[in-house]
């Protein structure tokens, strides 16, 4: 759960606000993570406004600023990108992207992806049935972890209306890809993910940085107790091992949401999830002896969690945390990170390696993100907004460094 800020902003408030500057708090002071903080000067959201201090080469210069606001302002919550004002930075970018036709649906692309998932999943189950009581079924479990993660990525794209325009078709497809295929509540995840897109990396409003087992701010780490405090001290080396439990965590949160009635159709979602559980467990217990079935589940679900974690971790972890004063374009660009790569990276990460473009245009079908990337990058350079792109390994390194820094005060005995 996220904390409700004390001073919520009014939706639609377009008042002038300070420029953004990337502040890096000193160790032992405020947060060691990068933070978008207010600095002198006015910013009115028009083209040419500088979103951050840059060097001559266009790189953002990290600056130390101890003058953080006493309280955080909430960002405007919107289900979709706001209708751009006629002269805003995002309005101009929006015009350029739409002029290229990059918001068109791509039914053939998704037909191929879904067909590949179905064929591979069917082949995997056929292999399990053929191999029977053999430990060679465990590599098949690893293959099924890939198909499960790819199903989750399809559910993600469906939620953003990248596949279907209508809400009804999107919901039906989401129930199939989420509840039926992987046993996760689509409605619960949709609500959580919408709040993330509305306010990425916001300490109070983004559920993805809410303190749970892992913590993303020193304040959250200081409030941990018992086993969670011990984990927070060493969360960087524990990050990858803990991803093996991510699939279990998703289902636990899904069941809790169904029980609490926080999803729109709890009975329907629960029934579809039950069909998944009965079919999955029934097939394994029928085809495999109990010890091997349990080993299959551990490998399948553990690697599924690792795949999902490795897909989403590069996107925002270790990036600046906003103050709530940013306009839509800067709120999305400055908190996101792209990952370089070719077609294999695109396929493995489902297009989420173009995280900046995805956050600016969440309804843009995944195949168009690669084309949109240089348009967005060049436009950000034109208006002086930092555009972060790095390698996949370096993105993990940055995320782990951030986790390490957050836990440093606990390791130092503070």
At residue 65, the pLDDT reads: 37
At residue 186, the pLDDT reads: 97
Burial state string for 116-151 with b = 16 or more CB within 10 A and e = fewer than 16: ebeeebeebeeebeebeeeeebeebbebbbbbbbbb
Angle (CA) 342 343 345, round 5°: 70
Look at residues 7, 72, 65 and name the one whose alpha carbon lies nearest to residue 39. Answer: 65
At residue 321, the pLDDT reads: 87
At residue 79, the pLDDT reads: 43
At residue 12, the pLDDT reads: 36
Look at residues 206, 195, 210, 188 and name the one whose alpha carbon lies nearest to residue 260. Answer: 188
φ/ψ (deg, to 5) at 305:
-65, -40
Measured distance between the N- and C-terminal CA atoms of the chain, rounded to whole angstroms: 26
CB-CB contact of 85 with 45 (8 Å): yes
At residue 318, the pLDDT reads: 84
Claim: this prediction has a pTM higher than 0.95: no
pLDDT digits (tens, 9 = 90+) for 131-141: 999 999 999 99
At residue 414, the pLDDT reads: 61
At residue 82, the pLDDT reads: 55
Task: Outline where 288-387 has alpha helix (H).
Answer: 290-316, 328-333, 343-349, 355-360, 366-383
- Tell me how crowded residue 43 is: count the other CB atoms within 10 A of its CB: 19
Task: Give the CA distances from residue 265 to residues 156, 172, 187, 199, in Å, rounded to whole numbers and listed in that order.
Answer: 19, 12, 8, 25
At residue 64, the pLDDT reads: 34
Six token digits for residue 221: 């780490």
Nearest-angstrom CA–CA distance, 53 and 278: 56
HSE, side-chain direction, 13 A CA sphere, residue 70: 2
Which sequence spans correspond to the domains of the chain?
16-63+78-414
Give me the residues of the chain with pLDDT under 50, please. 1-79, 86
Nearest-angstrom CA–CA distance, 87 and 83: 12
């Amino acid at each position: 759960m996220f904390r409700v800020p004390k001073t919520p902003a009014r939706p639609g408030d377009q008042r002038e606000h300070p420029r953004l500057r990337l502040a890096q708090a000193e160790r032992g002071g405020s947060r060691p993570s990068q933070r978008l903080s207010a600095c002198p000067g006015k910013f009115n959201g028009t083209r040419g406004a500088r979103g951050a201090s840059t060097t001559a080469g266009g790189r953002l210069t990290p600056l130390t600023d101890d003058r953080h606001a006493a309280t955080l302002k909430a960002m405007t919550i919107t289900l979709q990108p706001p209708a751009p004002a006629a002269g805003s930075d995002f309005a101009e970018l929006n015009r350029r992207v739409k002029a290229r036709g990059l918001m068109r649906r791509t039914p053939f692309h998704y037909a191929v992806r879904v067909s590949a998932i179905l064929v591979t999943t069917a082949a995997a189950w056929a292999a399990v049935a053929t191999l029977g009581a053999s430990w060679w079924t465990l590599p098949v479990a690893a293959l099924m972890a890939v198909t499960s993660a790819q199903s989750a990525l399809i559910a993600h794209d469906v939620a953003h209306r990248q596949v279907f325009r209508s809400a009804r078709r999107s919901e039906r497809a989401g129930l199939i890809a989420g509840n039926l295929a992987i046993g996760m509540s689509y409605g619960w995840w949709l609500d959580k993910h919408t709040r993330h897109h509305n306010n990425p990396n916001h300490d109070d409003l983004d559920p993805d940085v809410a303190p749970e087992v892992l913590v993303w701010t020193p304040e959250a780490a200081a409030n941990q107790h018992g086993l969670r405090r011990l984990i927070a001290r060493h969360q960087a080396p524990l990050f990858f091992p803990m991803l093996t439990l991510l699939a279990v965590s998703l289902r636990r949160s899904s069941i809790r949401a169904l029980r609490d009635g926080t999803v729109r159709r709890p009975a329907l979602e629960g029934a579809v999830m039950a069909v998944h559980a009965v079919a999955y467990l029934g097939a394994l217990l029928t085809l495999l002896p109990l010890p091997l079935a349990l080993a299959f589940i551990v490998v399948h679900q553990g690697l599924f969690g690792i795949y999902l974690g490795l897909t989403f971790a590069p996107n925002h972890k270790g990036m600046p945390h906003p103050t709530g004063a940013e306009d839509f374009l800067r709120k999305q660009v400055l908190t996101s990170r792209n990952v370089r790569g070719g077609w294999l990276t695109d396929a493995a990460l489902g297009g989420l390696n173009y995280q900046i473009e995805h956050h600016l245009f969440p309804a843009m079908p995944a195949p168009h993100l690669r084309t949109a990337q240089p348009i967005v990058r060049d436009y950000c350079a034109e208006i002086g907004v930092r555009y972060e792109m790095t390698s996949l390994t370096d993105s993990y390194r940055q995320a782990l460094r951030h986790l390490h820094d957050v836990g440093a005060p606990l390791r130092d005995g503070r």
